Amino acid sequence: MTVNHDVSSDLEQRGIREQLTDLLTRLVRIPSINPPGGELPVARLLGSTWAEAGFEVQYDEFAEGRANVIARRRWGSGPSLLLNGHMDVQPPGQGWSVGPFEGVVDGDRLYGQGAEDMKAGLAAMTVAAVNYARTSPTSGELILTAVADEMCGGLHGSKRLVEQELSADFACVCEPTGDQLYLAHRGAIWLRLEVTGRSAHGGRPWLGRNAINAMLAWLTALQDWTPTTLRRNEHELLPDNTLNIGGISGGHKINVVSDRCTADVDLRHLPDADVSGLVDEVYAIAARTITDFDFTVEVTHTVDPMETPESNPIVGICRRAFAEATGRSLQLGGTAGFQDAHYFSRDLGIPTVMFGPFAGGTSEGDDYPSKSGQPDEWVSLSALTTTVNVYEGMIDGVLTSER
């Protein structure tokens, strides 16, 4: 792959693109893999950039080599906008043709682990905030947050912002969404299922009760439940409730009847779902299916769903900013996964949207050209430049509006 430093011929766009390329390259070259984390160098790079633009910067170092960073700048009375992004990335898989942490630029693409998800968003919100600060605004407050731990649920990242009672009038989580503005994401219930049987010699299995067999029957019944009662086609922006069996473990030895088996199940649900009812149904399915075995259902983790009404002012502000920057309409959507948006929307009561650059800059349902988590993950520099323009319009639209 040949390194190419081609830039736009437009002088203004070229300036933004060069800023983005430089900052994103430096961000990608910091291997902030979670676990274990290592976000502190990313926080320091962003914090120093924000401080140079006149923002008041505060670091929250919660473990060795790990931190969140918050920056604020107020220009006068008026609404406040919070921009959020996460600094951690997933471990790179096999199959890369370039080093995952080299930050190679080839034409319009910048390659790197976490380039799209979501150091591109961090770079775009930083360049937009710094450039907006140079315009000598006179009203409103801009809050920048770069957090750790999103890849593992955000308990050491955005959750800590909740504990600090961070406040703002509006928020945007700068995750990749392409040509869509995400207003919602589903919730999640992570369950640990366990079945207890009775061990016996493998040559005389009738003397035992095989927990693996029982677990397979339970999981089969859960999968039969998924396309019937569990799935509900009731949301305009989100897919149905879903169930995924993420792991199973059981048995001690090939010639011993297994007396214990566990499975990890991921339940994703719509914003108005009866969470306790879903858990109760998982238990009830076991009670009907594996009557001769002891079993338990443990909730190991939950994530709240979130949804911002289309009528909220932040939605109109974002759509106008996108139209002015691109000449196109910004479609509304939601993500099948979950992001940190629920911390701001549900826990802090801040109207929150999600918007940021994709690899290809466009999205069409589940067929969006996202490269997140894949070998040779990349992001489009032209899409990233457009995103900066949208963010600047969004910032101006919020800070100059009335509460």
Q: Supply angle C-alpha 181, 377, 128, rounded to 5.
A: 45
Q: Supply angle C-alpha 102, 103, 105, rounded to 5.
A: 125
- β-strand pairing of 187-196 with 109-111: unpaired
Best CATH choice for the domain 11-185+305-399 from the list 3.30.70.1520, 2.102.10.10, 3.40.190.170, 3.40.630.10: 3.40.630.10
Listed in sequence order, the residues at least 6 apart from 41 whose beta carbon sits closer than 8 Å to its beta carbon are 30, 32
Q: What is the pTM of this model?
A: 0.90
Question: Which CATH fold would you assign to the domain 187-303?
Answer: Alpha-Beta Plaits (3.30.70)
3-state secondary structure of 45: helix
pLDDT at residue number 357: 82
Can you give the residue ranges of every domain in the chain?
11-185+305-399, 187-303
- β-strand pairing of 242-250 with 260-269: antiparallel
**DSSP structural state of residue 89:** B
In angstroms, rounded to a whole number, what is the distance separating the alpha carbons of residues 146 and 125? 10
In angstroms, rounded to a whole number, what is the distance separating the alpha carbons of residues 397 and 139? 11
pLDDT at residue number 229: 82
Could you tell me what percentage of the chain is helix, strand and coil, using 3-state DSSP and rounding each to the nearest 5? 35, 25, 40
Beta strands in 186-326 (DSSP E): 187-196, 242-250, 260-269, 294-303, 306-307
Token representation of residue 225: 């439940």
pLDDT at residue number 14: 55
Token representation of residue 30: 């910091």
Per-run averaged pLDDT (10 residues), the chain, 403 residues: 33 75 98 97 98 97 98 97 98 96 96 96 97 95 98 95 97 93 96 98 97 98 90 87 96 96 97 93 98 96 96 98 94 92 98 83 46 88 93 97 78
Listed in sequence order, the residues at least 6 apart from 126 whose beta carbon sits closer than 8 Å to its beta carbon are 23, 46, 49, 50, 144
